[in-house]
Amino acid sequence: MFTLERLHADHASALLAFERENRAWFARSVPDRGDAYFAEFADRHRALLAEQETGAIHFHVVLDADGELIGRANLVDAAAGTAEVGYRIGQRAAGRGVATAAVGELCRLAAGTYGLHTLTAVTTLDNGPSRAVLRRNGFAEAGETEIDGRPGVHHRRDLSV
């Protein structure tokens, strides 16, 4: 089992370790964050926490039963009742339903805690597992896009139904 916990300052070292450990794994399916992300992590973490206080973003960490950080599930660009979903599950936790459950919990928080009514997400066309996670959580494909030069798909979920 896992818990979804709102990001706070105490998560910084575990989050950095998680991102470093899974960097190559993530780069197989999403654009790499680049070296600057890691070099400037502490400043970026503080800035994101400050932005989170404005309500424009809602970051969460996914913790396993032992309290180890195994993923992230985020809502970004929250405005006018809409936000974009983003998530990353580490390689050691992949394939166990964690992403599906974490996105499901994020959808519940979006509607109940954050007062959102519509969620969007994007995936690369070749990221079948991520597309399946979104589909299992009620997202429908809503058009094509390009992500870092790769063909992608927009997804949308209405939380009011």
- Number of residues assigned to the chain: 161
What pLDDT shows up at residue 30? 77
Q: What's the CA gap between 78 and 154, in Å, rounded?
A: 17
- pLDDT band at 27, cuts 50/70/90? confident
What pLDDT shows up at residue 66? 94
Query: Three-state SS for 146?
Result: strand
What pLDDT shows up at residue 28? 82
Please state at what angle helix 12-21 crosses helix 41-52, rounded to 10 degrees.
Answer: 120
Q: What's the CA gap between 85 and 41, in Å, rounded?
A: 21
What pLDDT shows up at residue 80? 95
Q: State mean pLDDT over 130-143.
A: 96
What pLDDT shows up at residue 148? 81
User: What are the structural domains, with CATH classification, of the chain?
Assistant: 2-158 (3.40.630.30)
What pLDDT shows up at residue 131? 94
79-135 confidence digits (pLDDT tens): 999 999 999 999 999 999 999 999 999 999 999 999 999 999 999 888 889 999 999
33-79 confidence digits (pLDDT tens): 888 889 999 999 999 999 999 999 999 999 999 999 999 999 999 99
For tokens 């992590």, name the residue: 41
For residue 21, pLDDT beyond 90: yes
State the sign of the Cα–Cα–Cα–Cα dihedral 93, 95, 96, 97: positive
Find residue 147's DSSP bridge partners: 150
- pLDDT band at 149, cuts 50/70/90? confident
